[in-house]
Amino acid sequence: MNPLRKAFENGPAFIPFVTAGDPSAEKTVAYVVALANAGADIVELGVPFSDPIADGPVIQAAGLRAFAGGITVERVFDIVAAIRQQTQVPLVFLTYANIPFKYGYERFCARCAKLRVAGLVIPDLPAEEAGELLPAASQNGVALIPLVSPTSGHRLAKLTVHADGFVYIVSALGVTGTRDGFAQNLDDLIADLRKVTDAPLCVGFGIHTPEQASAIAGQADGVIVGSAIVKLIADAPDDLAGLAEYAGAMANATHSGRGQA
Amino acid sequence: MTELKDIPETSETRFGDFGGQYVPETLMTELEKLTACFNEAEADPDFQAEFHRLLNEYANRPSLLYFAKRMTEDLGGAKIYLKREDLNHTGAHKINNVLGQVLLARRLGKTRLIAETGAGQHGVATATVAALFGMECEVFMGKEDTERQKLNVYRMELLGAKVTAVTSGQGLLKDAVNAALQDWAARPEDTYYVIGSAMGPAPYPAMVHAFQSVISTEAKQQLQTVEGRLPDAVVACVGGGSNAIGSFAAFIGDPSVRLIGVEAAGQGVDSGKTAATLEKGSAGIFHGMKSIFLQNGDGQIDKVYSISAGLDYPGVGPEHAALQASGRADYVGITDDEAVAAFEYIAKMEGIVAAIESCHAVAYVQKLAPTMRKDQIIICTLSGRGDKDVAQIASYKGVAL
Ligand SMILES: Cc1ncc(COP(=O)(O)O)c(C=O)c1O
* Phi, psi torsion values for A204, nearest 5 degrees: -145, 180
Nearest protein Cα to ligand 1, atom 10? B242
A107-129 average pLDDT score: 98
Residue type, A128: E
Nearest protein Cα to ligand 1, atom 6? B239
**CA-based nearest distance A227→chain B, Å:** 16
B111-127 average pLDDT score: 96
- Taking CA atoms, B239 is separated from B115, B162, B176, B283, in Å, by 16, 24, 14, 17
pLDDT for A243-258, tens place per residue? 999 999 999 999 997 7
pLDDT for B182-226, tens place per residue? 999 999 999 999 999 999 999 999 999 999 999 999 999 999 999
Chain-wide mean pLDDT for chain A? 95
- Among A44, A106, A128, A235, which one carries the catalytic annotation? A44
Half-sphere exposure in the Cβ direction for B187 (13 Å, CA): 13
In angstroms, the CA A67 to CA A70 distance is 5
Name which of B27, B29, B284 is nearest A153 (Cβ-Cβ). B29
A18-28 average pLDDT score: 98
Share of chain A above pLDDT 70, in %: 98
B25-42 average pLDDT score: 97
Q: B205: CA distance to ligand 1 center in Å?
A: 14
Name which of B21, B182, B188 is nearest A151 (Cβ-Cβ). B188
Q: Whole-prediction pTM value?
A: 0.96
In angstroms, the CA A257 to CA A253 distance is 8
Residue in chain A nearest B12 by alpha carbon: A128
Is position A55 annotated as part of the catalytic site? yes
Q: B90: CA distance to ligand 1 center in Å?
A: 13
Residue A53 contacts by C-beta under 8 Å, 6 or more apart in sequence?
A96, A123, A124, A175, B24, B178, B181, B182, B185, B287
In angstroms, the CA B9 to CA B4 distance is 10
B342-346 average pLDDT score: 98
Is position B69 annotated as part of the catalytic site? no
Q: B124: CA distance to ligand 1 center in Å?
A: 12
C-alpha B217, offset from chain centre? 16
What DSSP assignment string belongs to B137-152?
EEEEEEHHHHHHTHHH
- Among B63, B79, B83, B94, which one carries the catalytic annotation? B94
Which atom number of ligand 1 is nearest to the Cα of residue B244? 11
Q: For a substitution probing ligand 1, which of B209, B311, B352, B356 has the most ligand atoms within 8 Å of its CB?
A: B311
In angstroms, the CA B48 to CA B78 distance is 36
Neighbours of A234 (CB within 10 A): 17
pLDDT at residue B148, rounded to an integer: 83
In angstroms, the CA B320 to CA B198 distance is 9
How long is chain B? 401
Residues in B 264-303 with any Cβ partner in A closer than 8 A: 282-288, 290, 293, 295, 297-301
Residue A215 contacts by C-beta under 8 Å, 6 or more apart in sequence?
none
In angstroms, the CA B59 to CA A154 distance is 39
pLDDT for B276-294, tens place per residue? 999 999 999 999 999 999 9
Strand partners, A168: A147, A202
B50-62 average pLDDT score: 98
**Contact predicate B182/B90, CB 8 Å:** no
The residue extents of the domains of chain A are: 12-255
B74-90 average pLDDT score: 98
> C-alpha dihedral over B127, B131, B133, B134, to 10 degrees?
120
**Contact predicate B380/B235, CB 8 Å:** yes
Is the CB of residue B96 below 6 angstroms from any atom belonging to ligand 1?
Answer: no
Share of chain A above pLDDT 90, in %: 89
Residue B399 contacts by C-beta under 8 Å, 6 or more apart in sequence?
none
- Residue B2's closest CA among B316, B232, B241? B232
Tell which phi-psi region holds residue B137, choosing left (phi > 0), alpha (psi between -120 and 50) or beta. Answer: beta
pLDDT for A53-94, tens place per residue? 999 999 999 999 999 999 999 999 999 999 999 999 999 999
Is the CB of residue B141 below 6 angstroms from any atom belonging to ligand 1?
Answer: no
Q: Output the CATH code of domain A12-255.
A: 3.20.20.70
ipTM for this prediction: 0.96
Contacts B297 to A, Cβ<8 Å:
102
pLDDT at residue B6, rounded to an integer: 87
Domains defined along chain B, listed by start = 14-55+94-207 (3.40.50.1100), 60-91+213-396 (3.40.50.1100)
β-strands A167-170, A147-148: how paired?
A: parallel
In angstroms, the CA A65 to CA B297 distance is 20
Name which of B22, B181, B182 is nearest A129 (Cβ-Cβ). B22
Is the CB of residue B384 below 6 angstroms from any atom belonging to ligand 1?
Answer: yes
